[in-house]
Amino acid sequence: MEGIIVNFRGSHKTQYNNQMIIKINGVDSKDSARKLEGKIVSWKTPSGKEIKGKVAKVHGNSGAVRATFEKGMPGQAIGEKVTLN
C-alpha cells in the first residue's frame, strides 16, 4: 500500500519531528484505518536511505493515520510517498 505524508503531528506551540500524519490511498474511514495500526511505514530519502516507522494510531475521522518514525523526519518529506508493509 502507498500513502502520502501530509504533515508533522503538532499543536499551535509544539511540533513532533518524529511523528507524521499520513493519508493512505483507498482508506477513507476511521474503521478501515484502525486495521492498519502496527504496520511498518518506510520513506526513502533522496540519497537512497530508508527511514522506517510504525503506524501508531488513527488521526481524525477521514482515514488518516499517525506514524511514529525512528528519528526526526526532515521537512522535505511532506508531500512525498511512503509504503506500508
* pTM, rounded to two decimals: 0.89
pLDDT at site 71: 82
Element (H, E) at 13: none
Q: Does the pLDDT value for residue 8 go beyond 90?
A: yes
CB under 8 Å to 83, separation ≥6 — which residues? 1, 2, 3, 41, 42
- Per residue in 25-43, pLDDT (tens digit) is 999 999 999 999 999 999 9
pLDDT at site 70: 86
Portion of the chain with pLDDT greater than 70, in percent: 100
Place of cell 499551535: 12
Average pLDDT of span 63-78: 92
CATH number of the structural domain 2-84? 2.40.10.190
**What's the grid cell of residue 43?**
520513506
